[in-house]
Structure 1
Amino acid sequence: MNWKEIIHRNKHILFIIYCPLYLWCFNWLEARDGIPFQDIHCIIDDWIPFCEFFVIPYVLWFLYVAAVVLYLYFQREHLEDYYHCVILLMLGMSTCLLIYYLFPNEQNLRPDTFTEQNIFTEIIGFIYASDTNTNVLPSIHVYNAVAIHVAFSTSHRFRDKHGWQIASMVLCILICLSTMFLKQHSFLDVLTGLGLYLIYYALTYPFLKHWRRTRL
């Protein structure tokens, strides 16, 4: 059995292998110092107030991504939905890492102190401590949220379930907004994250259509 056959037989676990590699690369980029970082900022950022309550959808992102990927994986009769989703995730996250490497960037939007002390600000403080203000453009949080929403809403089981689609869209929008209201990202990060997804979706959608057509 050659390496192509091995990959073909085990292609469903490639995303599992990719995740720790991605985390290692991201953490390496986060630990870089002694290099100039481009500050990402636009006037729209100044119009957006800090709001600690947006930490709820921000944290729900982790569950949202994991739950949809697992659901698509166990939808065994329609694995093309799973493959399209994880391919888009890997393309986007890898491209973001490459951009962070070639174009080191940061944002300086975070508040120095919180006017209110509550459970939400405590969680945000933990997020700030564990996640640096570098490597922000494009926003992986936004890219993945949009990718997961589209994958869920167009999946075989939920493509006609409008209630579920609306719920997913609302959560996706709240997640994208949360990155700005928590001062984790600039509006420019959100815009480029969305733009990157649209580019990759347009490039990969013809292959998904062909895959679905050949399975009918």
Structure 2
Amino acid sequence: MSYMRTFYRKYKHLFPLAIFLIFYLTVFVYVENRPAYHMHLLASRFDHLIPFCELFVVPYIMWFFYITFGVLFFGIVEKDRDQCYQLSTNLMIGMALFLLISLIWPNGHTLRPAVLPRDNVFTRLVIMIYSSDTSTNVFPSIHVFNTIAMHTAVRHSTTLKKHPWAVRISGIIAVSIVLSTMFIKQHTVIDVVGAMGLNLVTWYVLYRQPQFLTNLREKLVREK
């Protein structure tokens, strides 16, 4: 029992995000499987200019590791706890708004190719993604929002300021992930632009208004 108390005191700053993820996944499964009587289809002329390229499935899958590793880094390695609160709050705001939009405004797209142009290990991975994640509830792209939120945190990291190479690598990974969502036809340009616009708002609130973060931190985690 004492070990559990020690663990909680040491990592309690990660608990709000962990609890939120349980809620998020529960609601996400619901919106993915509920019958949608009227689907708002999203597409732009730019989407038809972007070719399908299965190689981008690699950075698309890399997203899962990028976000997981990033959260653990800011929760365990980064000494400035404010940075962890900023990242966690940013991720939660984006995912909460995504769920709200999906609930009240069902959306999707029909850009996925009916027949993939080639048969290789990358197209097979794309098929696996298609089968596990539908082309509905795509706006704004959480893949894009969380990626930019993570790279924003990396750029503001006190620890990583001493390692500019890590920030550059994060930037390359982030750009490749954002592009991957459009090149494997998981998201539309509209989804990507929407996520970027939302990121701009949350960046201003969380990183340009420090008093907001201080007040929020006091509400989320109260020091004993």
TM-score, reference length from structure 2: 0.86
Aligned residues: 203
Q: 1:28 to 1:155 in 2, by over 3 A?
A: same
Deviations 1:89-139 (A, max 9, x none): 001100011011111100100001112111111111010001011001110
Q: 2:31 aligns with which of 21, 29, 32?
A: 29
User: What's the offset of the Cα at 1:49?
Assistant: 0.1
2:210 corresponds to: 207
Gaps spanning 5+ residues in structure 1: where? 1-8, 212-216
Q: 1:94 aligns with which of 93, 96, 110?
A: 96
Gaps spanning 5+ residues in structure 2: where? 1-8, 215-224
Show structure 1 runs of 4+ deviating over 6 A: none
User: What's the offset of the Cα at 1:36?
Assistant: 0.4
Q: Aligned letter for 1:179?
A: T
Distance 2:33 2:213 in 1: 42
Q: Aligned letter for 2:108?
A: E
1:214 corresponds to: none
**SS of 1:176's equivalent?**
helix
Contact 2:13/2:75 (<8 A) preserved: no
2:129 corresponds to: 127
Q: 1:159 aligns with which of 146, 158, 161?
A: 161
1:175 corresponds to: 177
Distance 1:74 1:93 in 2: 22
**SS of 1:109's equivalent?**
coil
Deviations 1:126-168 (A, max 9, x none): 1000101100111000000000111122111112432221111
User: What's the offset of the Cα at 1:208?
Assistant: 6.7
Distance 2:167 2:78 in 1: 21
Q: Aligned letter for 2:73?
A: Y
Q: Aligned letter for 2:122?
A: F
2:109 corresponds to: 107
Contact 1:152/1:158 (<8 A) preserved: yes
Q: 2:41 aligns with which of 39, 42, 50?
A: 39
